[in-house]
Amino acid sequence: MHSVPLRSRRRKRALAAQKFQHIIPAFPLFAAGVETLRHDPHGLPLILGLFEIGTSALLLGSMIRELRALRRAAGTSHAPHAHAQHGVAWFDVFAAGVLLAEAAEHVHVTHHWKRPVLLTAALTLALGLFHGRIESWAEDKRALKVSDEGLSVGRRPFGIFRAKWGELQAVEIGERYASIRTRTGRVRRIDLHDSENADALRAALAEAQARLTPDA
């Protein structure tokens, strides 16, 4: 089976925009840490101030790296950094650290834990640590798959387009869009300009074209 994930640039930008909301508390947290260190703290206040500065700086640095990666991927169809999608999402890990620092600052001032923030930090940390497995599972669901039986194209949330070779009428590969048509009129269109790995998709679609019978 030939399987190629559908890696959408629009989807990646939308996910990045959602993630970057985590940087909002990083700025006041960094400032709070600097202010704490200005008063020559000792013990727990010193540790808390360093933790606030460290987690905020790491998160901001991770944001800059992600923005650079998005710019590098914007003009390519080769997805050169695709391997990074299957590792730890350090942005989420550092975001969890910022949330934990925020909760620690709150308990230091009020002596009460912000349980919703702690829960969000735990969930964000889990998403960061298990990002590779989650992304691999999601990519498998969204992939274009060409097999001996036929082909399928994931399309969440609208389900999966599946067709056996005898059910297919045509596979058309254009400059921007590729279309898969069945004899019953079903059509699945793929925006190749939006795909980070358009070259791999074109190769898989060309393989599908070659598998069609002459009278298809």
Residue 32 covered by a domain:
yes
Residue 98 covered by a domain:
yes
Task: Examine the domain organization and report whether 64 and 170 are in the same domain.
Answer: no
Give the CA count within 13 Å in the CB-facing half-sphere of 17: 6
Answer yes or no: is pLDDT of 29 > 50. Answer: yes
pLDDT of residue 15: 82
Instruction: Dump pLDDT digits (tens) for 145-171.
Output: 999 999 999 865 557 899 999 999 999
* Order of strands, sheet of 177-182, starting from the edge strand that comes earlier in the sequence: 168-173, 177-182, 187-191
Q: How confident is the model at residue 83 (pLDDT cuts 50, 70, 90)?
A: very low
Asked if residues 182 and 152 have their Cβ atoms less than 8 Å apart, the reply is no
pLDDT of residue 135: 85
Parent domain of 46: 2-140
Pairwise CA distance, residues 10 & 74, whole Å: 10
Task: Examine the domain organization and report whether 89 and 175 are in the same domain.
Answer: no
Task: Examine the domain organization and report whether 175 and 108 are in the same domain.
Answer: no
Task: Examine the domain organization and report whether 184 and 118 are in the same domain.
Answer: no
Task: Examine the domain organization and report whether 183 and 84 are in the same domain.
Answer: no
Task: Examine the domain organization and report whether 129 and 159 are in the same domain.
Answer: no
Task: Examine the domain organization and report whether 101 and 48 are in the same domain.
Answer: yes
Q: Per residue in 38-62, is it b (16+ CB within 10 Å) or e — as a string?
A: eeeeeeeeeebbebbbbbbebbeeb
pLDDT of residue 73: 65
